[in-house]
Structure 1
Amino acid sequence: MSTISAPQLSRRSLLKLGLGASAVLATAGLTATLSGCSSDAPASGFQVLRSSDIPMLTAIMSTLIGPHPALNPANLDGAIAQLDKTLAWTSTAVQKQLTDLFGMLSMGLTRGPLTGIWGSWENATDEDVRAFLERWRDSRLDMLRQGHSALNQLLQMAWYATPVSWEAVGYPGPPTI
Protein backbone atom coordinates (compact mmCIF):
# COMPACT_ATOMS: atom_id res chain seq x y z
CA MET A 1 0.00 0.00 0.00
CA SER A 2 1.43 3.36 -1.00
CA THR A 3 0.63 6.58 0.71
CA ILE A 4 0.63 9.99 -0.85
CA SER A 5 2.13 12.60 1.35
CA ALA A 6 1.09 16.21 1.07
CA PRO A 7 3.87 18.61 0.21
CA GLN A 8 5.19 20.34 3.30
CA LEU A 9 5.52 24.08 3.26
CA SER A 10 8.26 25.24 5.57
CA ARG A 11 8.14 28.55 7.36
CA ARG A 12 10.93 29.85 5.16
CA SER A 13 9.09 28.78 1.98
CA LEU A 14 5.91 30.41 3.22
CA LEU A 15 7.76 33.68 3.90
CA LYS A 16 9.33 33.57 0.44
CA LEU A 17 5.93 32.92 -1.14
CA GLY A 18 4.38 35.79 0.82
CA LEU A 19 7.17 38.21 -0.11
CA GLY A 20 7.01 37.15 -3.75
CA ALA A 21 3.24 37.55 -3.92
CA SER A 22 3.46 40.95 -2.21
CA ALA A 23 6.11 42.10 -4.70
CA VAL A 24 4.01 40.95 -7.67
CA LEU A 25 0.86 42.65 -6.39
CA ALA A 26 2.73 45.85 -5.49
CA THR A 27 4.34 45.96 -8.93
CA ALA A 28 1.00 45.33 -10.63
CA GLY A 29 -0.67 48.05 -8.58
CA LEU A 30 2.11 50.53 -9.27
CA THR A 31 2.04 49.71 -12.99
CA ALA A 32 -1.73 50.18 -13.11
CA THR A 33 -1.53 53.46 -11.24
CA LEU A 34 1.28 54.88 -13.37
CA SER A 35 -0.29 53.74 -16.65
CA GLY A 36 -3.69 55.13 -15.75
CA CYS A 37 -5.33 51.68 -15.92
CA SER A 38 -6.62 51.90 -12.40
CA SER A 39 -9.05 54.76 -12.00
CA ASP A 40 -10.37 55.59 -8.58
CA ALA A 41 -13.28 57.55 -10.02
CA PRO A 42 -16.65 55.81 -9.76
CA ALA A 43 -18.42 54.91 -12.99
CA SER A 44 -21.15 57.21 -14.23
CA GLY A 45 -24.23 56.75 -12.05
CA PHE A 46 -22.30 54.90 -9.32
CA GLN A 47 -20.94 56.05 -5.99
CA VAL A 48 -18.17 53.47 -5.42
CA LEU A 49 -17.91 50.98 -8.29
CA ARG A 50 -15.61 51.86 -11.19
CA SER A 51 -16.21 51.12 -14.87
CA SER A 52 -13.59 48.35 -14.75
CA ASP A 53 -15.37 46.63 -11.83
CA ILE A 54 -18.75 46.21 -13.49
CA PRO A 55 -17.96 43.53 -16.14
CA MET A 56 -16.10 41.46 -13.54
CA LEU A 57 -18.89 41.74 -10.96
CA THR A 58 -21.54 40.99 -13.58
CA ALA A 59 -19.75 37.81 -14.72
CA ILE A 60 -19.17 36.57 -11.17
CA MET A 61 -22.68 37.42 -9.95
CA SER A 62 -24.27 35.72 -12.95
CA THR A 63 -22.35 32.52 -12.19
CA LEU A 64 -22.98 32.69 -8.42
CA ILE A 65 -26.73 33.21 -8.80
CA GLY A 66 -27.07 30.48 -11.40
CA PRO A 67 -30.41 29.53 -12.92
CA HIS A 68 -32.63 31.94 -10.99
CA PRO A 69 -35.94 32.66 -12.78
CA ALA A 70 -35.42 36.43 -12.56
CA LEU A 71 -31.80 36.45 -13.73
CA ASN A 72 -31.58 38.60 -16.83
CA PRO A 73 -29.28 41.49 -17.84
CA ALA A 74 -31.62 44.24 -16.58
CA ASN A 75 -32.10 42.61 -13.17
CA LEU A 76 -28.37 41.88 -12.95
CA ASP A 77 -27.69 45.59 -13.57
CA GLY A 78 -30.13 46.40 -10.76
CA ALA A 79 -28.29 44.06 -8.40
CA ILE A 80 -24.95 45.68 -9.29
CA ALA A 81 -26.53 49.08 -8.55
CA GLN A 82 -27.75 47.64 -5.22
CA LEU A 83 -24.21 46.50 -4.44
CA ASP A 84 -22.93 50.01 -5.16
CA LYS A 85 -25.53 51.50 -2.78
CA THR A 86 -24.51 49.04 -0.09
CA LEU A 87 -20.81 49.80 -0.56
CA ALA A 88 -21.52 53.53 -0.37
CA TRP A 89 -22.70 53.01 3.21
CA THR A 90 -19.61 51.07 4.30
CA SER A 91 -16.51 52.60 5.85
CA THR A 92 -13.77 54.09 3.71
CA ALA A 93 -11.41 51.31 4.84
CA VAL A 94 -13.81 48.59 3.65
CA GLN A 95 -14.38 50.41 0.38
CA LYS A 96 -10.61 50.62 -0.14
CA GLN A 97 -10.10 46.90 0.53
CA LEU A 98 -12.90 45.93 -1.83
CA THR A 99 -11.85 48.29 -4.61
CA ASP A 100 -8.31 46.89 -4.30
CA LEU A 101 -9.72 43.37 -4.66
CA PHE A 102 -11.91 44.40 -7.59
CA GLY A 103 -8.95 46.16 -9.19
CA MET A 104 -6.76 43.07 -9.00
CA LEU A 105 -9.53 40.98 -10.54
CA SER A 106 -10.24 43.53 -13.28
CA MET A 107 -6.72 44.37 -14.43
CA GLY A 108 -5.40 42.01 -17.10
CA LEU A 109 -1.91 41.84 -15.58
CA THR A 110 -3.23 40.32 -12.35
CA ARG A 111 -6.52 38.77 -13.53
CA GLY A 112 -4.93 35.93 -15.50
CA PRO A 113 -2.54 34.65 -12.82
CA LEU A 114 -5.04 35.13 -9.99
CA THR A 115 -8.16 33.76 -11.67
CA GLY A 116 -7.10 31.71 -14.67
CA ILE A 117 -9.28 33.99 -16.83
CA TRP A 118 -6.79 35.39 -19.32
CA GLY A 119 -9.24 37.21 -21.57
CA SER A 120 -11.83 39.83 -20.69
CA TRP A 121 -14.58 39.14 -18.17
CA GLU A 122 -17.17 39.67 -20.92
CA ASN A 123 -15.76 36.61 -22.74
CA ALA A 124 -15.44 34.38 -19.65
CA THR A 125 -17.81 31.42 -19.60
CA ASP A 126 -19.73 30.29 -16.53
CA GLU A 127 -17.36 27.30 -16.37
CA ASP A 128 -14.32 29.63 -16.35
CA VAL A 129 -15.80 31.74 -13.55
CA ARG A 130 -16.93 28.67 -11.59
CA ALA A 131 -13.42 27.16 -11.84
CA PHE A 132 -11.90 30.43 -10.58
CA LEU A 133 -14.34 30.61 -7.65
CA GLU A 134 -13.74 26.97 -6.71
CA ARG A 135 -9.97 27.45 -6.92
CA TRP A 136 -10.18 30.41 -4.55
CA ARG A 137 -12.65 28.67 -2.23
CA ASP A 138 -10.42 25.60 -1.91
CA SER A 139 -7.07 27.44 -1.89
CA ARG A 140 -4.44 26.80 0.76
CA LEU A 141 -3.88 30.56 0.87
CA ASP A 142 -6.11 32.29 3.39
CA MET A 143 -6.05 35.51 1.35
CA LEU A 144 -7.73 33.80 -1.61
CA ARG A 145 -10.29 32.04 0.60
CA GLN A 146 -11.15 35.39 2.19
CA GLY A 147 -11.48 36.96 -1.28
CA HIS A 148 -13.87 34.18 -2.30
CA SER A 149 -15.91 34.65 0.85
CA ALA A 150 -16.12 38.42 0.35
CA LEU A 151 -17.21 38.08 -3.28
CA ASN A 152 -19.71 35.35 -2.51
CA GLN A 153 -21.33 37.16 0.41
CA LEU A 154 -21.41 40.60 -1.21
CA LEU A 155 -22.82 39.45 -4.52
CA GLN A 156 -25.39 37.09 -3.01
CA MET A 157 -26.48 39.82 -0.61
CA ALA A 158 -26.81 42.35 -3.44
CA TRP A 159 -28.89 39.95 -5.56
CA TYR A 160 -31.25 38.90 -2.79
CA ALA A 161 -31.69 42.50 -1.64
CA THR A 162 -33.52 43.25 -4.90
CA PRO A 163 -37.31 42.74 -4.78
CA VAL A 164 -37.32 41.21 -8.28
CA SER A 165 -35.38 38.23 -6.91
CA TRP A 166 -38.10 37.67 -4.29
CA GLU A 167 -41.05 37.90 -6.67
CA ALA A 168 -39.61 35.32 -9.07
CA VAL A 169 -39.51 32.66 -6.35
CA GLY A 170 -42.77 33.57 -4.62
CA TYR A 171 -41.30 35.27 -1.55
CA PRO A 172 -43.57 38.13 -0.53
CA GLY A 173 -40.71 40.13 0.96
CA PRO A 174 -40.05 41.18 4.50
CA PRO A 175 -43.04 41.95 6.68
CA THR A 176 -44.14 45.57 6.87
CA ILE A 177 -43.57 47.16 10.21
Structure 2
Amino acid sequence: MQRRTLLKLGATAGAVLVVAGGAAAWIEPGWERGGLSATGREIFVAVGKAVLDQTLPAQEGAREIAINSWLSRVNVLIDALPSHVQKELSQLLALLGNPAGRRTLARLHLPWPEASVTDVQLALQDMRLSSLALRQQAYAALHDITAGAYFSDPSSWAVLGYPGPLKI
Protein backbone atom coordinates (compact mmCIF):
# COMPACT_ATOMS: atom_id res chain seq x y z
CA MET A 1 0.00 0.00 0.00
CA GLN A 2 1.34 3.41 -0.91
CA ARG A 3 1.92 6.01 1.75
CA ARG A 4 -0.59 8.40 0.18
CA THR A 5 -3.30 5.72 0.16
CA LEU A 6 -2.57 4.89 3.78
CA LEU A 7 -2.85 8.58 4.77
CA LYS A 8 -6.15 8.93 2.91
CA LEU A 9 -7.47 5.81 4.61
CA GLY A 10 -6.43 7.13 8.03
CA ALA A 11 -8.00 10.53 7.41
CA THR A 12 -11.24 8.95 6.18
CA ALA A 13 -11.40 6.61 9.17
CA GLY A 14 -10.78 9.55 11.52
CA ALA A 15 -13.53 11.60 9.87
CA VAL A 16 -15.98 8.70 10.13
CA LEU A 17 -15.15 8.30 13.82
CA VAL A 18 -15.61 12.02 14.47
CA VAL A 19 -18.98 12.03 12.69
CA ALA A 20 -20.09 8.86 14.48
CA GLY A 21 -18.97 10.25 17.84
CA GLY A 22 -20.71 13.57 17.18
CA ALA A 23 -23.89 11.80 16.14
CA ALA A 24 -23.71 9.58 19.21
CA ALA A 25 -23.25 12.61 21.47
CA TRP A 26 -26.27 14.26 19.88
CA ILE A 27 -28.44 11.13 20.04
CA GLU A 28 -27.30 9.78 23.44
CA PRO A 29 -25.24 12.25 25.47
CA GLY A 30 -23.34 10.92 28.47
CA TRP A 31 -24.59 13.71 30.74
CA GLU A 32 -28.07 15.17 30.52
CA ARG A 33 -30.34 17.26 32.75
CA GLY A 34 -27.95 17.20 35.71
CA GLY A 35 -27.25 13.47 35.74
CA LEU A 36 -25.53 10.63 33.97
CA SER A 37 -27.46 9.14 31.08
CA ALA A 38 -28.00 5.37 30.99
CA THR A 39 -24.89 5.07 28.80
CA GLY A 40 -22.83 7.29 31.10
CA ARG A 41 -23.98 5.27 34.08
CA GLU A 42 -22.99 1.96 32.43
CA ILE A 43 -19.53 3.32 31.66
CA PHE A 44 -18.96 4.68 35.15
CA VAL A 45 -20.21 1.48 36.81
CA ALA A 46 -17.70 -0.56 34.77
CA VAL A 47 -14.89 1.94 35.36
CA GLY A 48 -15.75 2.22 39.06
CA LYS A 49 -15.67 -1.53 39.57
CA ALA A 50 -12.30 -1.67 37.79
CA VAL A 51 -10.65 1.29 39.54
CA LEU A 52 -12.10 0.60 42.99
CA ASP A 53 -11.88 -3.19 42.77
CA GLN A 54 -9.87 -3.74 45.96
CA THR A 55 -11.60 -0.97 47.94
CA LEU A 56 -15.26 -1.88 47.39
CA PRO A 57 -16.91 -4.21 49.92
CA ALA A 58 -16.52 -7.89 49.05
CA GLN A 59 -20.12 -8.88 49.87
CA GLU A 60 -22.44 -8.38 46.89
CA GLY A 61 -25.21 -6.52 48.75
CA ALA A 62 -22.82 -4.12 50.46
CA ARG A 63 -20.91 -3.74 47.18
CA GLU A 64 -24.10 -2.74 45.33
CA ILE A 65 -24.99 -0.19 48.02
CA ALA A 66 -21.46 1.27 47.86
CA ILE A 67 -21.62 1.53 44.05
CA ASN A 68 -25.02 3.26 44.10
CA SER A 69 -23.85 5.68 46.79
CA TRP A 70 -20.67 6.36 44.81
CA LEU A 71 -22.70 6.97 41.60
CA SER A 72 -24.71 9.61 43.46
CA ARG A 73 -21.45 11.34 44.39
CA VAL A 74 -20.25 11.08 40.77
CA ASN A 75 -23.40 12.98 39.73
CA VAL A 76 -22.77 15.63 42.39
CA LEU A 77 -19.12 15.98 41.35
CA ILE A 78 -19.92 16.31 37.64
CA ASP A 79 -22.77 18.72 38.36
CA ALA A 80 -20.26 20.97 40.18
CA LEU A 81 -17.97 21.14 37.12
CA PRO A 82 -18.14 24.14 34.76
CA SER A 83 -20.66 23.69 31.94
CA HIS A 84 -17.98 23.46 29.23
CA VAL A 85 -16.28 20.61 31.14
CA GLN A 86 -19.65 18.86 31.55
CA LYS A 87 -20.16 19.15 27.81
CA GLU A 88 -16.73 17.66 27.04
CA LEU A 89 -17.30 14.84 29.52
CA SER A 90 -20.71 14.18 27.98
CA GLN A 91 -19.07 13.90 24.56
CA LEU A 92 -16.41 11.56 25.93
CA LEU A 93 -19.04 9.31 27.51
CA ALA A 94 -21.11 9.35 24.31
CA LEU A 95 -18.04 8.36 22.31
CA LEU A 96 -17.15 5.58 24.77
CA GLY A 97 -20.76 4.41 24.73
CA ASN A 98 -20.63 4.01 20.97
CA PRO A 99 -19.19 0.59 19.92
CA ALA A 100 -16.78 2.15 17.41
CA GLY A 101 -15.64 4.77 19.91
CA ARG A 102 -15.28 2.21 22.70
CA ARG A 103 -13.13 -0.02 20.49
CA THR A 104 -11.03 2.86 19.19
CA LEU A 105 -10.55 4.94 22.32
CA ALA A 106 -10.61 2.27 25.05
CA ARG A 107 -9.75 -0.74 22.87
CA LEU A 108 -12.50 -2.60 24.69
CA HIS A 109 -14.36 -5.02 22.43
CA LEU A 110 -17.20 -6.00 24.75
CA PRO A 111 -19.94 -3.55 25.79
CA TRP A 112 -19.21 -1.94 29.17
CA PRO A 113 -21.78 -3.97 31.16
CA GLU A 114 -20.51 -7.25 29.68
CA ALA A 115 -16.79 -6.58 30.14
CA SER A 116 -15.11 -8.18 33.14
CA VAL A 117 -13.34 -6.10 35.76
CA THR A 118 -10.03 -7.38 34.39
CA ASP A 119 -10.98 -6.40 30.82
CA VAL A 120 -11.82 -2.85 31.91
CA GLN A 121 -8.66 -2.62 34.04
CA LEU A 122 -6.55 -3.64 31.03
CA ALA A 123 -8.37 -1.15 28.79
CA LEU A 124 -7.81 1.65 31.30
CA GLN A 125 -4.14 0.73 31.69
CA ASP A 126 -3.76 0.77 27.90
CA MET A 127 -5.34 4.24 27.80
CA ARG A 128 -3.09 5.47 30.61
CA LEU A 129 0.08 4.29 28.88
CA SER A 130 -1.00 5.31 25.36
CA SER A 131 1.22 7.53 23.25
CA LEU A 132 -1.90 9.50 22.27
CA ALA A 133 -2.67 12.43 24.57
CA LEU A 134 -6.42 12.07 23.88
CA ARG A 135 -6.48 8.54 25.29
CA GLN A 136 -4.41 9.61 28.31
CA GLN A 137 -6.76 12.52 28.98
CA ALA A 138 -9.81 10.27 28.70
CA TYR A 139 -8.22 7.88 31.21
CA ALA A 140 -7.37 10.74 33.58
CA ALA A 141 -10.93 12.07 33.48
CA LEU A 142 -12.51 8.67 34.16
CA HIS A 143 -10.00 7.75 36.87
CA ASP A 144 -10.00 11.09 38.69
CA ILE A 145 -13.79 11.43 38.73
CA THR A 146 -14.10 7.83 39.94
CA ALA A 147 -11.53 8.15 42.73
CA GLY A 148 -12.54 11.69 43.70
CA ALA A 149 -16.19 10.78 44.09
CA TYR A 150 -15.44 7.58 46.01
CA PHE A 151 -12.95 9.05 48.46
CA SER A 152 -15.06 12.16 49.08
CA ASP A 153 -17.11 9.97 51.41
CA PRO A 154 -15.54 9.82 54.90
CA SER A 155 -16.58 6.16 55.27
CA SER A 156 -14.09 5.24 52.51
CA TRP A 157 -11.10 6.87 54.20
CA ALA A 158 -10.34 3.83 56.37
CA VAL A 159 -9.31 1.90 53.25
CA LEU A 160 -6.50 4.42 52.81
CA GLY A 161 -5.59 4.39 56.48
CA TYR A 162 -6.62 8.04 56.70
CA PRO A 163 -8.20 8.84 60.08
CA GLY A 164 -9.74 12.08 58.85
CA PRO A 165 -8.82 15.69 59.42
CA LEU A 166 -7.26 16.67 62.72
CA LYS A 167 -9.57 18.22 65.26
CA ILE A 168 -8.34 21.70 66.08
TM-score of the aligned structures, taking structure 2 as reference length: 0.79
The amino acid across from 2:17 in the alignment is: L
The amino acid across from 1:32 in the alignment is: A
Identify the residue that residue 121 of structure 2 maps to in structure 1.
130
Moved more, 135-144 or 46-55: 46-55
User: How far apart in 2 are the matches of 1:65 and 1:168?
Assistant: 11
User: How far apart in 2 are the matches of 1:16 and 1:88?
Assistant: 39
The alignment status of 1:47 with 2:47, answered yes or no, reads: no
The alignment status of 1:23 with 2:10, answered yes or no, reads: no
User: How far apart in 2 are the matches of 1:85 and 1:21?
Assistant: 36
For residues 53-88 of structure 1, the C-alpha deviation after alignment (integer angstroms, 9 at most, x for no partner) is 111101111111121153611111111110110111
Identify the residue that residue 141 of structure 1 maps to in structure 2.
132
Identify the residue that residue 5 of structure 1 maps to in structure 2.
none
Structure 1 or 2: larger helix share? 2
What's the CA shift for 1:166? 2.2
What's the CA shift for 1:102? 1.0
User: How far apart in 1 are the matches of 2:8 and 2:70?
Assistant: 39
CA contact (8 A) 1:70 1:165 kept: no
Identify the residue that residue 157 of structure 1 maps to in structure 2.
148
CA contact (8 A) 1:48 1:95 kept: no
Identify the residue that residue 3 of structure 2 maps to in structure 1.
none
The amino acid across from 2:47 in the alignment is: I
Moved more, 46-55 or 98-107: 46-55
CA contact (8 A) 2:108 2:119 kept: yes
- Of the three residues 95, 109, 112, the one matched with 2:86 is 95
The alignment status of 1:115 with 2:115, answered yes or no, reads: no
The amino acid across from 2:18 in the alignment is: A
User: How far apart in 2 are the matches of 1:163 and 1:20?
Assistant: 49
Moved more, 167-176 or 157-166: 167-176
CA RMSD of aligned residues (A): 2.8
CA contact (8 A) 2:40 2:94 kept: yes
The alignment status of 1:105 with 2:96, answered yes or no, reads: yes
Q: 1:63 to 1:103 in 2, by over 3 A?
A: same
In the TM superposition, structure 1's runs of 4+ consecutive aligned residues that sit over 6 Å from their partners are: 13-16
User: How far apart in 2 are the matches of 1:15 and 1:165?
Assistant: 50
User: How far apart in 2 are the matches of 1:93 and 1:153?
Assistant: 18
Unaligned runs of 5+ in 2: 1-5
The amino acid across from 1:123 in the alignment is: E
User: How far apart in 2 are the matches of 1:64 and 1:40?
Assistant: 19
User: How far apart in 1 are the matches of 2:157 and 2:57?
Assistant: 9
The amino acid across from 2:19 in the alignment is: T
What's the CA shift for 1:138? 1.1
TM-score of the aligned structures, taking structure 1 as reference length: 0.75
The alignment status of 1:73 with 2:64, answered yes or no, reads: yes
